[in-house]
Amino acid sequence: MTLCAVAIAQTPARPQAAVVVIVVNGAIGPASADFVVRTLERAARQRAPLAILQLDTPGGLDTSMRQIIKAILASPVPVAAYVAPGGARAASAGTYIVYASHLAAMAPGTNLGAASPVQIGGGAPGPAGAPALPGAASPASGNAGALPTDTASTETRKATQDAAAYIRGLAQLRGRNAEWAERAVREAVSLSASEALAQHVIDLIAPSAADLAREADGRVVATAAGMVRIATAHAPLVNYAPDWRNRFLSIIADPNVALILLTIGVYGLFFEFANPGFVLPGVAGAICLLVGLFAMQMLPVNYAGLGLVLFGLACLVAEAFLPTFGVLGFGGIVAFAIGALMLIDTDVPGYGVPLPLIAGLALGGAALVALMSSVALRARKRPVVTGAEALVGSLGEILDDGLNVNAADPFPTPHATADGWARVHGERWRVTCALPLAAGTPVRVTARSGLTLSVVPLHDANGPPQSQGEST
């Protein structure tokens, strides 16, 4: 029995799983949602005792926010939303995520709230300033239970009611202050960390993630896997940073980058079609266009705006092939600018297309149109260098002495003609002339009739003036 006890005592203890810390800074978007969802799945595979979602966000896109909340509700691992570090905030979409988490915590000097939806699609905003997607803070708008006034659009009222019901349901699920949650939506109110704890909006205040893990130890929460007792007293913390995939998504999901990629893609394909064989512009253009379209499907895009952007780019390309003298190009610039203004269907901070970028791209298109127009005008002014018209005025040289008076007219008159052969543009032509000419005499072509040219001696003062660029 003693030996058995000693053997058990010497069996190495299984190392405790680490607490997963997921840091989310900035607006909630497709990239951050993908990062949170994939990291929570990883924490579940590793059987982590707790996942800490550290937030500092002004809000974000409704679809991305709901994607994160669905992942939290379906997670078998307890999730603690932690507003940190000091000075951080969990506004709008961040407030919803805090309410959805199993535990809610804040660092000193932080705040949360202002969960009113923001105006989308250019509709008329109501006096409450609380229209449709969770995003930026809006001004206060009356009493807690008040509905938007009759001047608000139907879409505004529907969005506000939906947002209020959504956060109220999350508050009831986690046993938190549902009344204040609804006020955060309807009145855009905010709370500091101490006020949030006093009003039972959060569960605890922790100076750091390590303190949060220690204070969460022993708490029992309801997860998708059932009731779970959190055991994190001595668990290490592991921070997970976004990998290359999330960083790539965060770059291309920026509306500015997506718009630039679309523009470069269309111009690259146009250059390849106009100059077949370069290959690189076509390949680069196709890649940029496909990546730009992929980014657009992740963003809240107004399809009328996207259609105007593509139509404007198509007009700019067509300007190079059709003789519209700038009409198509100017219309394309106007369509592109209007479409870019309408492109992103939300006012969430960080997801707008700035006016300087739109102006820069429009000016770039205008410069392209001006360049193509100037090239076309210069081409119209150039002398003809091919075809029958190019022969008139060209210089040549008599090849033999056979250019004599026509045998059919043994008594030449001032209107008599002589014929023979001459070399013009490196070719042998049948020529006629009013004067007999010797071989080697330089001549100028004055007219063409079928395969016969009319020439005059080069020294003839009555001949047409020599055109620029001619040579024998």
Q: CATH number, domain at 150?
A: 3.90.226.10
Least confident window among 94-108, 110-124, 272-286, 391-405 = 110-124
Residue 126 has pLDDT above 50, yes or no: no
Q: Which domain holds residue 295?
A: 254-381
Q: How much is the pLDDT for 197? A: 94
Number of structural domains (the chain) is 3
Residue 379 scores a pLDDT above 90: no
Q: Say if residue 42 is in the same domain as residue 149.
A: yes
In a domain, 463, yes or no: no
Domain-ending residue, one of 199, 215, 243 = 243
Residues 71 and 216 grouped into a single domain: yes
Q: Give the pLDDT band of residue 311 (cuts 50, 70, 90).
A: very high
Confidence of residue 176 (pLDDT cuts 50, 70, 90): very high
pLDDT value of position 138: 37
Q: End of a domain among 340, 363, 381?
A: 381
**Is the domain of 324 the same as that of 404?**
no
Mean pLDDT computed over every residue of the chain: 80
- Is 7 contained in some domain? no
Residue 447 pLDDT level (bands cut at 50, 70, 90): confident
pLDDT of residue 151: 43
Q: Is the pLDDT of residue 86 over 80?
A: yes
User: Does the residue 470 lie in any domain?
Assistant: no
Q: What are phi and psi of 379, to 5 degrees?
A: -65, -35
Overall average pLDDT of the 351-364 stretch: 85
For residue 181, name the pLDDT band (cuts at 50, 70, 90): very high
Q: Which of 206, 159, 172 is nearest to 100 (CA)?
A: 172
Considering the domain architecture, whether residues 419 and 344 belong to the same structural domain is answered as no
Quick one: pLDDT band at residue 370, thresholds 50, 70, 90? confident
Q: What is the pLDDT of residue 417?
A: 63
Is the predicted pLDDT of residue 331 greater than 90, yes or no?
no
Identify the band that residue 100 occupies on the pLDDT scale cut at 50, 70 and 90: very high
* 145 in a structural domain: yes
- What is the tens place of the pLDDT at every residue in 295-309? 888 888 888 888 999
pLDDT-derived band at 385 (thresholds 50, 70, 90) equals: low
Whether 296 and 405 share a structural domain: no
Look at residue 393 and tell me if it is in a domain.
yes
Identify which of 151-155, 278-282, 316-320, 416-420 has the greatest average pLDDT: 278-282
**pLDDT reported for residue 465:** 45
Are residue 234 and residue 301 in the same domain, yes or no?
no
Q: What is the pLDDT of residue 382?
A: 66
Final residue belonging to a domain, choices 336, 365, 381: 381
Residues with Cβ within 8 Å of 14's Cβ and at least 6 positions away in sequence, in order, are none
Q: Are residues 209 and 104 in the same domain?
A: yes
In tens, the pLDDT along 413-436 reads: 444 467 888 888 778 888 888 878
Identify whether 9 is part of a domain: no
Please give the average per-residue pLDDT across 121-137, as a whole number.
38
Residue 3 counted as domain residue:
no
Same domain for 158 and 100: yes
What pLDDT is stored for residue 454 in this prediction?
Answer: 87
Q: Are residues 186 and 229 in the same domain?
A: yes
pLDDT at 388: 65
The CATH number for 411's domain is 2.40.50.140
Same domain, 440 and 372: no
Do 287 and 371 sit in the same domain of this protein?
A: yes
> Is residue 324 included in any domain, yes or no?
yes
User: Binning pLDDT at 50, 70 and 90, where does residue 277 land?
Assistant: confident
pLDDT value of residue 464: 47
pLDDT at 383: 66
- Assess whether 349 and 408 both reside in one domain: no
Residue 405 confidence (pLDDT): 47
- Flag whether pLDDT at 462 surpasses 90: no
